[in-house]
């Protein structure tokens, strides 16, 4: 998942990613499902 990668970067980045994920989830929940179902990274 992208979360561990974000951990490597600065903490602020992780917060921004979380906000973005939440926004995307509200606008397009399918997108989040795709990321969670297909995390090859």
Going by pLDDT thresholds of 50, 70 and 90, the confidence category of residue 4 is: low
In contact, 41 and 2? CB cutoff 8 Å: yes
| Spatial distance between the Cα atoms of 3 and 18, rounded to a whole number of angstroms | 9
| Spatial distance between the Cα atoms of 27 and 8, rounded to a whole number of angstroms | 27
| Spatial distance between the Cα atoms of 28 and 40, rounded to a whole number of angstroms | 21
Query: pLDDT by residue (tens digit) across 10-36?
Result: 544 455 555 666 665 565 555 555 555
Locate tokens 């979380």: which residue?
Answer: 18
The pTM for the full model equals 0.20
């Amino acid at each position: 998942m992208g979360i561990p990668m974000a951990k490597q970067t600065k903490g602020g980045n992780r917060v921004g990613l979380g906000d973005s994920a939440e926004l995307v989830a509200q606008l397009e929940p399918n997108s989040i499902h795709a990321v969670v179902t297909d995390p090859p990274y």
